[in-house]
Amino acid sequence: MDFMNDYARLHNNIIELIEEDAEYGFYITYQDLTFTSVFQPIFDREHNIYGVEALARIFDANGSAVNPHDYFESIIHDDEVSAIATLICSTIHMLNFSRSCYYDKKLFINVTPVIFEILSNHDIAVNTLIRGLKKIGVSPTQLVYEIIEFEGRNLESVLNGIQKLADFGIEVAIDDYGIAYSTEERVRSIKPDYLKIDKSIVDLLAAFKYSKFHHAVSIGRSIKAKTIAEGIETKAVFERCVESGADYFQGYYLARPEKLAKSESVRQTTESSEGWKVL
């Protein structure tokens, strides 16, 4: 299958793999790997939960945990496998989020740039996404796509894809700002709605080294992006992030990733993933 030119079939193949149980909620097993969802809250300056970042948990055929970072690093140069894995995770994340107690918050999902290239070149991909969100009761304005890894991508196609999403109110974030390809130049080219400041910069605040953090916040303000401090692990660092002007905060000190409880309204309904299967 030419996945870039047969999105409809790719999407339908993924939808047919959706399963649900009490342990994982919605999950998908693909090539002997089972993909599940956990979520980590993102807090505002008043300590309210602003949104949640969806994170994959992966298990092999024996039920042993597979390191998500290592897995995605291993497929980073295979566009087809990368696209399939991203779409699998996005699908179960959206479904699990829609049934959760935080269904009215923002949902942050990691995606590879190849997804934006697909969206740029195939209107059916955008239309399918919007229709799917409507089916499960999630507004496009709740969705934030976090762009990960950017080596060797077609910037024009990525920007076109981002604009198509923006037309429906879907926002984007640059993940891990300050390391690898998440550079100031890249940020100013994309002009994301959110700038996630990498843990390596956040950790410098523990030693009272503020310059890189302040510079990141300044960049965010200059492009009218909200800043999110990632990887906060202590009270002292959290307080310094607040003092230094970050807009939102995320890390183990505040909350660890976990499976979300279902909302009360979901417990009282028998709806499942059938809405996705009629797209």
For 26-65, what is each residue's pLDDT tens digit? 999 999 999 999 999 999 999 999 999 999 999 999 999 9
Distance of alpha carbon 21 from alpha carbon 267, whole angstroms: 14
Reference 109, options 125, 128, 86, 75; nearest CA is: 86
**pLDDT above 70 (res 268):** no
What long-range pairs does 216-225 form, CB within 8 A, spacing at least 24?
Answer: 216/177, 216/178, 217/244, 217/245, 217/246, 219/184, 219/187, 219/188, 219/195, 220/195, 220/247, 223/187, 223/188, 223/191, 223/192, 223/195, 224/191, 225/187, 225/191, 225/192, 225/193, 225/194, 225/195
Distance of alpha carbon 107 from alpha carbon 93, whole angstroms: 9
Determine the residue type at 164: K
Distance of alpha carbon 99 from alpha carbon 272, whole angstroms: 9
For residue 45, the model assigns a pLDDT of: 96
Instruction: Say if residues 52 and 97 touch (Cβ distance below 8 Å).
Output: yes
Mean predicted confidence (pLDDT) in 76-105: 93
DSSP letters for 249-268:
E-STTT---BPPPBPHHHHT
pLDDT digits (tens, 9 = 90+) for 95-148: 999 999 999 999 999 998 888 888 887 888 899 899 999 999 999 999 999 998
Q: How far is CA 200 from the centre of its chain?
A: 20
Is pTM beyond 0.95? Reply is no
For residue 275, the model assigns a pLDDT of: 46
Instruction: Say if residues 234 and 214 touch (Cβ distance below 8 Å).
Output: no
What long-range pairs does 120-125 form, CB within 8 A, spacing at least 24?
Answer: 120/157, 120/158, 120/160, 120/161, 120/164, 121/4, 121/157, 122/4, 122/5, 122/7, 123/164, 124/7, 124/8, 125/7, 125/11
Instruction: Say if residues 201 and 176 touch (Cβ distance below 8 Å).
Output: no
Mean predicted confidence (pLDDT) in 236-248: 98
**Which has more pLDDT, 114 or 169?**
169
Distance of alpha carbon 112 from alpha carbon 216, whole angstroms: 22
79-98 and 7-15 are packed helices; what angle lies between their axes, rounded to 10 degrees? Answer: 50
